Amino acid sequence: MQALQDVSNQMVVLQSNAKQRIEAEAALGHARKTFSLAQASYRAGLDNYQHVLDARISVLHQQEIIVQMQAVRLDAYAGLMRALGGGTLEGKMEGAMEGAMEATQKKDQAKIERLR
């Protein structure tokens, strides 16, 4: 029962994140347009450069929000994989490292045998 709850929780996070990402992408588009207009106003001599800087900060802030959302999405995806019975890369990496070490030792042993 707990496994089903975990899967459900991760799916809710992923769905919520997808909706938020759409809104954040739209906000980023608006921030970029504002930045472009601020630059045009500055070049035309209608506004000061502080307005351009403020608009640029807004673009950067929206980009930061999107990156944070990507991190949440990846974390939720990893949680979903765990809830579905998969492991994390950590365990797989350890197994892969052990396998690589064993293979290297066998190759080294074979070379030693050939030299004898």
Domain check: are 92 and 78 in the same one? no
Low-confidence ranges of the chain (pLDDT < 70): 87-116
Task: Supply the pLDDT for residue 79.
Answer: 85
Domain check: are 93 and 77 in the same one? no
Overall pTM surpassing 0.75 (yes/no): no
What value, to the nearest 5°, has the Cα angle with vertex 101 and ends 100 and 107?
Answer: 90
When divided into structural domains, the chain yields a total of 2
Other C-beta atoms lying within 10 Å of the C-beta of residue 17 = 20
Residue 99 belongs to domain spanning = 88-116
Does residue 85 contact residue 7 with C-beta atoms inside 8 Å? no
Domain check: are 71 and 92 in the same one? no
Report the distance separating Cα 105 and Cα 108, nearest Å. Answer: 5
Domain check: are 57 and 105 in the same one? no
Domain check: are 112 and 97 in the same one? yes
DSSP string computed for 82-108: HHTT---HHHHHHHHHHHHHHHHHHHH
